[in-house]
């Protein structure tokens, strides 16, 4: 299998993501400049964290128009796995590959710290190997996920909520919500189950030296899912 990391101007987690995939998980990974199409033989496509186009308009709002995104849309329609991390999540919602919007954190401050997440679904390609509670870091100023009540009900009814912020014991509480996201949402998936967006950074939790290897479990789950196809 092959992975591809789309590199946008202003991205700062692209090499971290490549390292986690290639050096930690052993998956050949190609860096794809935002002006180029993603190769059709890429089984796993990643939109990394960072500040695409400097977030000068709105996080992800300009990146959605990048030439590479048309090939990402086509790959998603063909059932390829797509993972958007932090700014990548913002790009996915701006591109309407996932519902909702990311707003400024409720505290109006940039947040950079470890958080705990409840794995709501363990039957997706990305989460089959994950325990009920995982630890990963966040680093964002616009991670406050919002969707209207009807949209939230649709997410719940369709089983699209994959991760929720929680405490160490797995309790989903307002106190465990770092950015004000509706329903403590930290990550959602599309109805087809192949496009995941999440604010926490799995690539920054891919080795024990980083304080957690829970992120590696997410990558390994996707790799194993692809191996079964």
Dihedral of alpha carbons 7, 9, 13, 15, sign: positive
Q: Do 136 and 215 meet the contact criterion of CB atoms below 8 Å apart? A: yes
Asked if 107 is an active-site residue, the reply is no
Q: Do 82 and 194 meet the contact criterion of CB atoms below 8 Å apart? A: yes
Which residue among the candidates 13, 140, 203, 220 is catalytic per the annotation? 203
User: Which one, of 21, 191, 20, 221, lies nearest residue 96 by Cα?
Assistant: 191
Asked if 96 is an active-site residue, the reply is no
Which residue among the candidates 13, 86, 140, 166 is catalytic per the annotation? 86
How far is the C-alpha of 8 from the C-alpha of 81, rounded, in Å?
Answer: 19
Asked if 86 is an active-site residue, the reply is yes
Which residue among the candidates 13, 94, 201, 220 is catalytic per the annotation? 201
- Active site members: 86, 201, 203
């Amino acid at each position: 299998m092959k992975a591809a990391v789309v590199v946008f101007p202003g991205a700062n987690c692209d090499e971290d993501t490549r390292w986690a995939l290639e050096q930690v998980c052993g998956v050949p990974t190609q860096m794809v400049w935002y002006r180029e199409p993603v190769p059709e033989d890429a089984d796993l496509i990643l939109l990394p964290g960072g500040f695409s186009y400097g977030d000068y308009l709105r996080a992800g709002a300009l990146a959605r128009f990048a030439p590479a995104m048309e090939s990402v849309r086509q790959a998603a329609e063909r059932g390829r796995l797509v993972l958007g991390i932090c700014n990548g999540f913002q790009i996915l919602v701006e591109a309407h590959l996932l519902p909702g919007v990311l707003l400024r954190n409720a505290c109006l401050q940039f947040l950079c710290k470890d958080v705990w997440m409840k794995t709501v679904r363990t039957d997706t390609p990305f989460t089959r190997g994950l325990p009920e509670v995982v630890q990963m870091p966040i680093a964002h100023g616009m991670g406050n996920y919002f969707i209207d009540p009807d949209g939230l009900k649709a997410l719940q009814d369709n089983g699209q909520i994959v991760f929720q912020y929680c405490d160490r014991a797995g309790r989903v509480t307002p106190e465990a919500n770092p950015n004000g996201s509706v329903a403590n949402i930290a990550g959602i998936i599309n109805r087809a189950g192949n496009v995941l967006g999440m604010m926490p950074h799995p690539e920054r939790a891919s080795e024990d030296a980083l304080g957690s290897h829970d992120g590696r479990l997410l990558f390994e789950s996707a790799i194993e899912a692809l191996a079964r196809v």
